[in-house]
Structure 1
Amino acid sequence: MKFTYKYIVLILVITIFSCKKDRVFTMEDIQLIPKPAELNLEKGSFEFDKNTKFVINNDEQIQASEILASKFKTVANWDLEAVKEAPSSNYIQFILNNNLEKEAYKLNVNNDVIKIEASNFSGFLYGVETIRQLLPAEIESDTTVDNITWEIPNITITDAPRFKWRGLMLDVSRHFFEKEYVLKTIDRLAYLKMNTLHLHLVDDQGWRIEIKKYPKLTEVGAWRVDQENKPWDGRYTPKLGEKATYGGFYTQEDIKEIVAYAKRRGINVVPEIEMPAHVTSAIAAYPEFSCLEKPVTVPSGGLWPITDIYCAGKDSTFEFLQDVLTEVMDLFPSKYIHVGGDEATKTNWKTCKDCQKRMKTEGLHDVEELQSYFIKRMERFISSKGRVLIGWDEILEGGLAPGATVMSWRGVKGGLEASEQGHDVVMSPGTHCYFDHYQGPMDTEPLAWGGFTPISKVYKFDPVVETMTEEQAKHVLGGQANVWAEHIPTTSQSEYMIFPRLTALSEVLWSPKKDRSWNEFTPRLKEMFKRYDFQGINYAKSAYTISTETQVNDTTNVISVSLKNEFSDSDIRYVLNNASLDNEAIPYKEPIELKETTTIKTSVFKDDKPIGRVFEKTFNYHKAVGKKVTYLSKYSNSYKGAGANNMTNIIRGSKNFHDGQWQAWIGNDMEVVIDLEIPTEISKVSVGSTDNQGPGIYYPTKVEVLLSNDGKNFKRAGVINRALKVNPNIELKDFIVNFKSQKATFVKVIAKSVKKTPNGGGAWLFVDEIVVE
């Protein structure tokens, strides 16, 4: 009996060991982002343990191996050894293969050995990052993980990027982010096989890099008066001498640390030193480099137009910029030096005696050619240092510098034009690559800089435009996401805006176009969310958020409501009115038709339970629905809403004032009359409005309701007044006028506008619906 028991135990141990090596992985188990160019799954697996070795030949291979070794140290407390001679099995070997292109790699995994082939450090690094994503998501934990097998499938991957430039721009000027966040961002870029970090170090609102020859650039230019409690475009111009407490900058030692850290992650850091505009922070420190030479303060928020720019007529301006760029180039080994070049309002150049003299001397016809002269002169200096000037597509205006590269942000036109002229381009159109835009319904998202760029739209981006010739396409270096930070005050919110959209962009810029599809990408994206959870990234879950598309039949007033989110396989369910979403939910199959006041509650379901944000919206069939509206003051042609039926069509506007449901008046009051057709008992009128002070949209200061039975003689029924208040948020509000119940056929509603913004511009008044009850 004893012998039989031992025999059974031995058989079980052998069986378990054999099963481990025969574990069957499927393609569904492989959730790599970006998707490799070629991948073949084979039978079996490789299991890591405390005796696994790294077989390396040089310091770069050691650096690459440390990414994985440090992960195992954290989750398993293993000190995996690096050796020069390969043991018999259980090792990862780094093999130099000079036949592979830069950044390309080959990965071969079998039961006993993992081999990574590459021709340079980046290739080895990307091979390691692929192994990291093949491991269980728990490898990203920052604490020890028990009871898990660290196993990856036997697989062969041959991989290389589609584009050379795979970038992210961080705007650290509008809001300053500490060095530690920049280092974290570098890690996350490498994880997704991105290779470029563009640091926007200079703008009107802050100078963020120490320049030893010009200390006032950081002593003065790095600090502004703290008005963070006000809307970006609603902040006053600080007085000279007013105490400036918000800001910060990177010392040259900080920059050296960032650059060195980035190099160990295969990331090139591209500095941007703006010129000739977006430099009020520099002019505040050294006004002698402007045309007017008048003292100015660092703006606390939005600034438009940008007229305090560098003087293009003074040689001292160019000496200053050459000194600055010399120190910058000593710190950044990047081949590319970004000089901005965008949004320069050249008002002062037109009257400046130095600029006019320069134009005459150089035979320049207008200030656009003067900007071209400015950029060409800086390009010659940068080229003399063995570097390449890159700038926003405005540097095309007036003629492009011979060796310049263009970053196309105003759509793709600049990239098309530059590539046609034989210049390299980086595509970064605002339509697909501006991550300061909203990524979900505005009503559910933190404040952002207009626009709507959900992750599915990012995934549709292609740096090569269909109309490009084959020769033009060769000049497309790649693409880049830009995270402008006017409305991003914290690193947590910065993460929210970057992730998961950067995940989509990484695949667009790395993987072959023919092998990609949104529906195939989304399961891998959902798996990536688990890894982001372990990494502690505050990524947006906006792709799950349910939104509605609403249509109204103007004849029957029947509303058709469609429900959707970005995942086509989502299990969306809903209930009407007071039904319970937990146990009475109806699977959504087709648009919901409404004929009376109804509340829709809906959510994404998983395992028959609602998950995430619950969407709720009421469609109010009030007494004025479908009734004729006469406009005594006409709305702006820029915001017509749904036209004549807008005020009584039930459909409400959202925080996105471009959604087509708003009518607006600029510098003028709203005054309308609604014809109820027959005497109707009413006691309440509500006016829906929005407050979005950044672009100059303000709530009404007064709402007045007047009633009539003949349409000629009106009597006031009620009025509410509201004082103007500074508000940094975007809000929706119904202004409700209650009064004694009475019969009326005609309802006149007057909403008083602010008329002028605090800065003197015309103020907008937006209204989406007038509800009569």
Structure 2
Amino acid sequence: MNKIILKNKMRLVTGLILFGFFFPKTQAQNIKLIPQPQELISSEAEFSLKNSQDLWVNSSKHNDFALKQLKDELSEQMGISSELVKSPKKASIILYALDDNPDSKIKKYLPNSEKLQEIGEQGYWLKIEKDQIKLIANTEKGLFYGVQTLRQLIQTAKNKSLPALEITDWPALEYRGWMDDISRGPIPTLEFTKDAIRKLSEYKLNFLNLYTEHTLRNEKFADIAPLDSFTPEEINELEEFAAKYHVVLIGNQQAFGHMEEILNNPFYDEIADNKWNLNPGSPATYEFLDEYLGDAAQAYDHPFFNIGADETDGLGSGKAKALVDSLGMEAVYAMHINKLDEILKKHGKRTMMWGDIAVNHQEIIDRLPKDLIILSWGYDPRDSFDKAILPFKESGFDFMVAPGVRSWSEIYPNLDVAVKNIANYVRDGKEYGSMGMINTAWDDDGETLFNANWHGIVWGAEMAWNPIESQEEARAKEERASRLSAFNKGFDKLFFEMPDDQSIMQSLNKFRELRQIPVFGSMTNASVWGSIFDFYPKEEVEKVATTNKNMLKQATALAQELKEKAKLAGAEKIAIEVARNAAERAAFAAKKNLFILDLQKAHANPEAVSKERIKETRNKLFKELHHLKMDYINIWKAENREYWLAENLNKYDETARELLDLETHVFIDAGQALRPGEMEIRLSTLYPDTEIRYTTNGGEPTKESELYDGSLSITKNAEVKAKAFKDGQEGQISAKYFNVHKALGAKPQIKGRVSTANPAYAAGGPGGLTDGLKGSEDFGDGRWQGYAGQDIEVVLDLKTKTEINEISADFFQRLISWILLPESVEFYVSNNGKNFKKVAVAQNPIDPQDQGLIIENFSSGELKEKARYIKVLVKSMGPLPEWHTGAGKSSFIFLDEIIVK
């Protein structure tokens, strides 16, 4: 007999032990369990499933559902009928929950009292012997989880036999759940949500949190939620359905930041601080919340309720400025949380909130209600999450840990990041006494499908029930790898029902290889939707061609591989179809990038690329894009309501319009500086004999507007709009707003490599720093240049000795996106381009820990210099500091136009 204790000192090699080292080899190949049990003892014997099995269960109706699940599993999986008998002596399978009054006739079948105490409320004891199966739990809930384990053993049984074994099992964390974002894109249908509850309960998760900003219907505020949002009645229906599966719904309603969908409505302007945050300085805010938040609380039965309160970007930048200036951000934040807590207490709720603001401003912590449940969150693959947890642990708060499946804004989830993030966060949470885990699935750009998230969500179930234990990262890495290998084999068999010689996970792991190809944007959705008319920096063209050819080849092969494997899966084919669609989108993005290179060549030299070849490629891309759109509609509708689908389809349509506009698209480019303060503007199309009409006063160009004859320059700020006319066809309007200054059009020499995380971060290449185009509040708008983990040196040649009164540039900060303002900016001048004189230094005036979206101008101040050359030296803050959730990783610098006055 072999004993496997999957806990404490033996935990380091759990996966290796469970899946082959202590088991007889033939049995080990058949044992696939998710999550892994805490203790397991095996032997060489087997229990043979006969064509009919006699079951005995204590008579409580509470156990009827678990019994039905087991009977259905025997019938559907094995073709075995089962009958209830009156005596355990006559039963081949015994199910018993002790909380239904222990029966004297079952006592001899029970484990010892020590085991019963060890398994607790949610655990179970399962013993499979040669002639009998005994499943014992203290509660109905524990019995349910034991049945899930027994069902998995039946699902993977060979020749109608189960391995003889003894499992003593219980969860490491009391609360084990997942959070689905239903506010920034897809809203799942009621039926899909029920199906998700059913599936995830099989892996012993026990709560669901629906992240809500504006998507719970409230007839008192009927102008807030979309018409196909969740209703309180649907929440109640879900609660009733989920109860059978021992899953609860925990309420969720953002009540501080992330309120833009509500505050965009002019009728709620009075309660807005800025476009994201509620105004804590207005009594109207609390009148609104008393009803709106109160009604949301009443829609849920469970006593816990999540108020969000994360990422309160720019608190006090609007109507609450006077209050924040007077009391301080920390005091105002804490005051608001206390008021929200008072509202929820009136409805018998215990407040949960995200912990990011408090952990970064720890003076808030002592001002919060002591019965709060803090959700400590972070989604990066850190070696340790101690610093994200300890401030709350040491202050005496109950807390849960909140890792994530890393699917948001991605073509397909980053499985590697999610695996480490979830495993290490849950491990550290357990170490410090976490109540539970809430595994998050966000929808930041609205495109993510839940059917892409199953691996991360079920891996979260694995870790929350039985976490890894190694603290030292080298050993933790080995333990994760061992557990993951066993998990993936089980996931193939239990989730996808794949044949023994086939693996979906081997294919899904190939997304890792795609992600490692260094294309701009890598595997982000942004790489699919970038404009075909945004060209690459010249110095990157060769690399872009090589990497995208590689991406096209590998992504196309993976899509075909997944298409074939979907035919072999016995279940969850839709999840494979979602992955196949992701691979096809990655291939399309690569084809589009190669097409952009052709356009770029043709734009630079009309004879470089055949115009017919360009049209032929365009037509193929257009057809493929339409296929992708139709495919996306089908996989969307398999899980979601109509809301937000049109927003996503607009991305396909906008790209299609660009492809159709190929002959008549007008390129508006900053040309050469004719002299300081005057810049040439170039208008062009790819095809000859195309008429271009333009305006510089913001008006829309028509057939009667100024005809471009090859000569156009500006000497003051202007919005240039242009439209092309060819063979009776009118093109789309192109527009750019130029800021005029003395360095306009100067060609920068830059020491520093622009980030390849997103094509937009190149901002058109070096010239993007002096093209007169300023960035917006969206750092991915193609106007900001992004650099990771480095200082930046920019030298400008003004061509002639020029009077210089000021040099400045804008910089961006957003902590959640790892973007920090520079430590300092140094300004130099020179007349020969070799010997530079430092004329000013601008230090960073902003606290690096300030939350929100910050755009700060770094200026030399007033100067009285005459020089031909200017040098700007930007000093990075270096790696993200210890207090940041991404500590040790490279921070980003984002800078905008360098302006010389």
TM-score range, shorter chain: 0.5 to 0.7
- Displacement after TM superposition at 1:307 (Å): 1.8
The residue aligned with 1:29 is: 30
- Displacement after TM superposition at 1:497 (Å): 2.2
Q: Does 1:276 align with 2:229?
A: no
- Displacement after TM superposition at 1:465 (Å): 8.5
Gaps of 5+ in 1: 1-22, 139-147, 224-246, 293-304, 446-451, 553-593, 615-653, 663-669, 675-680, 706-715, 734-747, 769-773
Q: Does 1:173 align with 2:176?
A: no
- Displacement after TM superposition at 1:320 (Å): 3.8
Q: Does 1:533 align with 2:496?
A: yes
* 2:513 maps to amino acid: S
Select which of 511, 518, 521 maps to 2:466. Answer: 511
Deviations 1:503-544 (A, max 9, x none): 322222222424944245325423422433359xx9985214
The residue aligned with 1:641 is: none
Select which of 359, 384, 390 maps to 2:352. Answer: 390
The residue aligned with 2:456 is: 501
The residue aligned with 2:696 is: none
- Displacement after TM superposition at 1:261 (Å): 1.9
Q: Does 1:379 align with 2:341?
A: yes
Q: Does 1:125 align with 2:139?
A: no
Which secondary structure state, in structure 2, belongs to the residue aligned with residue 482 of structure 1? strand
CA distance in 1 between counterparts of 2:268 and 2:668 reads 54
* 2:353 maps to amino acid: G
* 1:764 maps to amino acid: G
CA distance in 2 between counterparts of 1:598 and 1:267 reads 45
CA distance in 2 between counterparts of 1:62 and 1:262 reads 15
Deviations 1:314-359 (A, max 9, x none): 445334433444444444232321001023345667535xx85x77
Alpha carbons 2:94, 2:133 under 8 Å: kept: yes
- Displacement after TM superposition at 1:114 (Å): 1.6
Query: Which is worse superposed, 414-423 or 109-118?
Result: 414-423
The residue aligned with 2:435 is: 477
The residue aligned with 1:335 is: 303
* 1:183 maps to amino acid: K
CA 1:52/1:453 → structure 2, altered by over 3 Å: closer, same or farther?
A: same
Task: Trace 1:336-735 onto structure 2 (pairs within 5 A).
Answer: 336-345=304-313, 350-351=318-319, 356=322, 365-383=327-345, 385-396=347-358, 397=361, 399-400=364-365, 401-402=368-369, 403-410=371-378, 412=385, 413-429=387-403, 432-436=404-408, 438=410, 445=412, 453-455=414-416, 457-459=418-420, 461-462=422-423, 473-487=431-445, 494-514=449-469, 516-534=479-497, 541-545=507-511, 547=513, 611-612=561-562
CA 1:270/1:405 → structure 2, altered by over 3 Å: closer, same or farther?
A: same
Deviations 1:537-583 (A, max 9, x none): x998521447269899xxxxxxxxxxxxxxxxxxxxxxxxxxxxxxx
CA distance in 1 between counterparts of 2:182 and 2:256 reads 19
The residue aligned with 1:198 is: 209
CA 1:684/1:420 → structure 2, altered by over 3 Å: closer, same or farther?
A: farther
- Displacement after TM superposition at 1:32 (Å): 0.7
CA 1:731/1:103 → structure 2, altered by over 3 Å: closer, same or farther?
A: same
Deviations 1:126-151 (A, max 9, x none): 1111011111359xxxxxxxxx8543
Alpha carbons 2:209, 2:252 under 8 Å: kept: yes
CA distance in 2 between counterparts of 1:195 and 1:274 reads 22
Task: Trace 1:99-178 onto structure 2 (pairs within 5 A).
Answer: 99=117, 100-137=119-156, 149-174=159-184, 175-178=186-189
CA distance in 2 between counterparts of 1:35 and 1:101 reads 17
Alpha carbons 1:222, 1:281 under 8 Å: kept: no
The residue aligned with 2:634 is: none
TM-score normalised by structure 1 residue count: 0.58
Alpha carbons 2:552, 2:588 under 8 Å: kept: no
CA distance in 1 between counterparts of 2:785 and 2:267 reads 45
* 2:782 maps to amino acid: W
Alpha carbons 2:400, 2:438 under 8 Å: kept: yes
- Displacement after TM superposition at 1:191 (Å): 1.2
CA 1:527/1:605 → structure 2, altered by over 3 Å: closer, same or farther?
A: farther
Greater fraction helix: 2
- Displacement after TM superposition at 1:188 (Å): 1.6
Alpha carbons 2:85, 2:91 under 8 Å: kept: no
* 1:436 maps to amino acid: W
Q: Does 1:255 align with 2:235?
A: yes
Greater fraction strand: 1
- Displacement after TM superposition at 1:71 (Å): 3.3
CA 1:524/1:370 → structure 2, altered by over 3 Å: closer, same or farther?
A: closer
Alpha carbons 2:40, 2:165 under 8 Å: kept: yes
Identity of matched residues, %: 17
Deviations 1:148-182 (A, max 9, x none): 85432211111122222322111122222111111
CA 1:752/1:378 → structure 2, altered by over 3 Å: closer, same or farther?
A: closer
CA 1:137/1:123 → structure 2, altered by over 3 Å: closer, same or farther?
A: same
Q: Does 1:88 align with 2:90?
A: yes
CA distance in 2 between counterparts of 1:33 and 1:497 reads 19
CA distance in 2 between counterparts of 1:319 and 1:91 reads 58
CA 1:263/1:394 → structure 2, altered by over 3 Å: closer, same or farther?
A: same
CA distance in 2 between counterparts of 1:550 and 1:350 reads 42
CA 1:220/1:79 → structure 2, altered by over 3 Å: closer, same or farther?
A: farther
CA 1:611/1:253 → structure 2, altered by over 3 Å: closer, same or farther?
A: closer
CA distance in 1 between counterparts of 2:484 and 2:42 reads 18
- Displacement after TM superposition at 1:750 (Å): 11
Which secondary structure state, in structure 2, belongs to the residue aligned with residue 93 of structure 1? strand
Which secondary structure state, in structure 2, belongs to the residue aligned with residue 322 of structure 1? helix
Alpha carbons 1:433, 1:482 under 8 Å: kept: yes
Q: Does 1:207 align with 2:215?
A: yes
Which secondary structure state, in structure 2, belongs to the residue aligned with residue 434 of structure 1? coil
Which secondary structure state, in structure 2, belongs to the residue aligned with residue 69 of structure 1? helix
* 1:474 maps to amino acid: Y
The residue aligned with 1:569 is: none
TM-score normalised by structure 2 residue count: 0.50
Alpha carbons 1:703, 1:749 under 8 Å: kept: no
Which secondary structure state, in structure 1, belongs to the residue aligned with residue 151 of structure 2? helix
Gaps of 5+ in 2: 1-23, 99-112, 380-384, 471-478, 519-545, 565-585, 595-599, 615-620, 626-647, 670-682, 691-723, 725-730, 735-756, 761-765, 787-901
Q: Does 1:312 align with 2:280?
A: yes
Which secondary structure state, in structure 1, belongs to the residue aligned with residue 125 of structure 2? strand
CA distance in 1 between counterparts of 2:308 and 2:768 reads 47
CA distance in 1 between counterparts of 2:351 and 2:782 reads 41
How many residues align? The count is 543
Which secondary structure state, in structure 1, belongs to the residue aligned with residue 233 of structure 2? helix
- Displacement after TM superposition at 1:381 (Å): 3.8
The residue aligned with 2:39 is: 38
CA distance in 1 between counterparts of 2:416 and 2:248 reads 25
Alpha carbons 1:372, 1:395 under 8 Å: kept: no
Alpha carbons 2:768, 2:785 under 8 Å: kept: no
CA distance in 2 between counterparts of 1:453 and 1:84 reads 52
CA 1:550/1:335 → structure 2, altered by over 3 Å: closer, same or farther?
A: closer
